[in-house]
Structure 1
């Protein structure tokens, strides 16, 4: 994409109402614009990142054996009355009455709807286990929406729901999602720490949050130092129940993480293996047994012919919230530093002198060759000062920058810059092309 044809409304200064780094940078870099309190339009650059985050989430769900579907944003209040949650959920639920006086709601979550869908289709134990998921917009009417997409009212979420014949099977589904989540966040360049958590309005008796460490995080957390070590991926066999269970408990022992509401053992002191920081929740998983299947009359025939009430779990990832968490964890004074896996473009080309025929010819040729190689490239061909172009590329966080200027072209070289560490090197166009294509 040529920047001269892009819609990229960057800002020089941070808006006065933006309080945290991710909110400031998302506005300045032209990723989002607020349209109402806690509701944002996703501009082209932000939409590209959002789609890449969602794709990684989707790939890891598929790898763990979950099956994708798509449920609507609006739900019938009658479904929530079946489960008993309609009156209990609270004012965060946006309740709506349609023109026929039917009570509806803008879904904050989908336990009731997915239970009804599965209830109408599943008949026997042969239909289990199953895990179904979708990636869909949700709405929770926060009393004080703030921090941009970190605590907005409308948000994009991946929510998955598992159905098993018994508690042991449900725990296996839980363990599968546990490792799928760790791998999801690792692919985005994030080290997410699983933390035992309250179940809140979802319900149940087993729950973990996944926390990304950041100074601006909502919660104070205590964790073992092992969680600071980088990891690329956990190699697991999702069908090996015993290995998954062993890996799950080994990973959480002795102190995977806890929040400030839970007492540390008296002999534990901050220091040594125990660390303290603040963190951002990016995912939450729950096992809640028959909480929804029983009141909503979900029954299947068991192997012996008897009636069985399936055990359920639910698993959420804040897809839009993840963008803010990634920025909080990966930025500097000049702007965003996108991990390669979610960057809107892999390479940014800066033509320092569009009025110089040699520069423009070299930049145009490199742009065409990168596109042909399937590399996502943003070409700054604007009639702007070099300083403005450098500032824009740093602000929006493109991982690789190739700078083409008259002096370099006269010597047959370009400057290749790695955004993550600022390292710069002069290379021939061929070598620069090979470097970024390989990367």
Structure 2
């Protein structure tokens, strides 16, 4: 491709509203343009890179026996009602009506639709199956941000496995895990597999693949000692033991008129946060519920949802709290609350004595609280957020917390969808068997962005060769120098004959502009043809990733580049 014929609207300045590195460089490099919040047009360079990402994913899925489909993006509401997810998905699902008044949805995901197709499976001989597609998904993100990382319209590779039994599902899950590991290695993304919550997908187990990035909104916890890694929504640790304060025969009230927060109580009354019981009031599936944590610990809402199997969770309003407990936030506690008010407590509070909590009277707290004696805890669970430095639950090494972007997620769904949607096959013994499912996703444009997040410098993108829009940029210098142009044309033709993807910068621009643009868009290798080098029978070859340049004889340049490209592809 000649640059003079290619649409590459590069920008000299960083866009003011581009927060993530990938957002900034993809805009500057002429890869994407925003139509509206969360919706982007992919320009020719991005289309080329996206196609390479898709082909890598396709190759690795073919290697595990997956078959490609294309399913509709517009779904009838009935199927989502049957699965129970029409309400669960909430406001993130785009809903609409057709001209006949029928309720429809733009597909966020395709578990229900693939399962509907699976209703045609008849016998155990039809299993196992792995089906997948590359399809546009729609999610009404409340806060789209960071360019392609958090959007409302994107391409997802979603695959689904159907097996007779748990052993088959385990095998499909493991094969996807291995395929994902190979995919992200080929893309050049430093993916970290972590334990994760299944969330609204349901199922028995799930694992996320996370890319470290300052643009990420997900925190993961990992151990450098044993390799333990989990999303903060799933992570656990061994909290350091805390010595209790002296206990009392019964909780003792004391006035705290100006202490409404954990910090104020610690500062004004000398009660460290680790000796306080924090009381949160949540509405869980329309039931007012008290959640107890240590004062210096934070609630992970997803852990609460997973513990209770809840569909909806929200903080209670001040009015709801006062009606139930007789006090405002800042003076709340679970001592003496009505028996019909559920109380959940975090495991870190087990057995604690000498604690301080709100008295359910404004401006009053209780000290000397014994968790076992004074509170009626209905359920204990791990509800707190793990923080950096806490000991690993497996080996005790200090944990680290890393900001990341989710680039892949694999689930063991179980029989949630096949049972609900009536899928069964005839087993070998003549009985009906309900197949067990797995679900496996990769966001294609998000993966593209994460390659940039992982491969860039202060001059622009540094694409790995496997996903670069072009493998080599041919830059000819010297306006109107026919010898240079002729040499450029020859190199261009020979590179194409060798099936090297070449972008010839044949524009009538200054050398600095050409070099800057080639570095900005991130082409892995550059051949520079100039009058001085040509007089000596040489060209200059530059490696984008290292900046290293070498002088190569003109007649050896094509094979030199070919060797570089092939060698990189084999790594």
Compute the TM-score of the two structures, normalised by the length of structure 2.
0.70
Query: Structure 1's 273 and 347: CA in aligned 2 closer, same or farther, altered over 3 A?
Result: farther
SS of structure 2 residue aligned to 1:104: strand
CA distance in 2, matches of 1:405, 1:52: 32
SS of structure 1 residue aligned to 2:535: helix
Correspondent of 1:257 among 221, 229, 251 = 229
1:236-294 Cα offsets, whole Å, 9 max, x none, are xxxxxxxxxxxxxxxxxx43412334232358659979654322110000011111000
1:18-70 Cα offsets, whole Å, 9 max, x none, are 11100001111111111121011110001000111011011111111111111
Q: Which structure's CA Rg is the greater one?
A: 2
User: Tell me, which stretches of 5 or more residues in structure 2 are unaligned?
Assistant: 241-389, 566-571
Confirm whether residue 188 of structure 1 aligns to residue 187 of structure 2.
Answer: yes
Q: Match of 1:51?
A: 51
CA distance in 2, matches of 1:370, 1:265: 59
SS of structure 2 residue aligned to 1:432: helix
Query: Structure 1's 84 and 220: CA in aligned 2 closer, same or farther, altered over 3 A?
Result: closer
Q: Match of 1:232?
A: none
Correspondent of 2:424 among 299, 303, 307 = 299
1:143-185 Cα offsets, whole Å, 9 max, x none, are 1111111000001110000101111111111111011100110
Query: Structure 1's 276 and 381: CA in aligned 2 closer, same or farther, altered over 3 A?
Result: same
Q: Match of 1:411?
A: 536
Q: How far is 1:344 from its partner?
A: 0.3
CA distance in 1, matches of 2:141, 2:529: 48
CA distance in 2, matches of 1:83, 1:216: 34
Q: CA RMSD in A?
A: 1.6
Q: How far is 1:218 from its partner?
A: 2.1
Asked whether the 8 Å contact 2:391–2:398 carries over to 1, the reply is no
Confirm whether residue 177 of structure 1 aligns to residue 176 of structure 2.
Answer: yes
Asked whether the 8 Å contact 2:22–2:449 carries over to 1, the reply is yes
Q: How far is 1:435 from its partner?
A: 1.5
Asked whether the 8 Å contact 1:38–1:153 carries over to 2, the reply is yes
CA distance in 1, matches of 2:30, 2:184: 24
CA distance in 1, matches of 2:99, 2:561: 56
Q: Match of 1:371?
A: 496
Confirm whether residue 357 of structure 1 aligns to residue 482 of structure 2.
Answer: yes
Correspondent of 2:508 among 383, 387, 394 = 383
CA distance in 1, matches of 2:401, 2:559: 43
Q: Match of 2:348?
A: none
CA distance in 1, matches of 2:188, 2:475: 26
CA distance in 1, matches of 2:490, 2:531: 15
SS of structure 2 residue aligned to 1:294: helix
Question: What is the 5 A alignment of 1:115-134?
Answer: 115-119=115-119, 121-134=120-133
Correspondent of 1:277 among 374, 390, 402 = 402
1:336-362 Cα offsets, whole Å, 9 max, x none, are 000010000000011111411111111
CA distance in 2, matches of 1:142, 1:161: 24
CA distance in 1, matches of 2:402, 2:557: 40
Asked whether the 8 Å contact 1:194–1:256 carries over to 2, the reply is no
SS of structure 1 residue aligned to 2:514: helix
Q: How far is 1:217 from its partner?
A: 2.5
Q: Match of 1:215?
A: 214
Equivalent residues, number:
411
Question: What is the 5 A alignment of 1:316-355?
Answer: 316-355=441-480
SS of structure 1 residue aligned to 2:420: coil
Q: Match of 1:235?
A: none
Q: Match of 1:108?
A: 108
User: Tell me, which stretches of 5 or more residues in structure 1 are unaligned?
Assistant: 227-253
Deviates more, 1:96-105 or 1:158-167: 96-105
Query: Structure 1's 113 and 260: CA in aligned 2 closer, same or farther, altered over 3 A?
Result: closer
CA distance in 2, matches of 1:68, 1:42: 23
Q: Match of 2:81?
A: 81
Confirm whether residue 314 of structure 1 aligns to residue 439 of structure 2.
Answer: yes
Q: Match of 1:143?
A: 142
| Deviating 4+ runs (over 3 angstroms) | 265-276
Q: How far is 1:187 from its partner?
A: 0.7
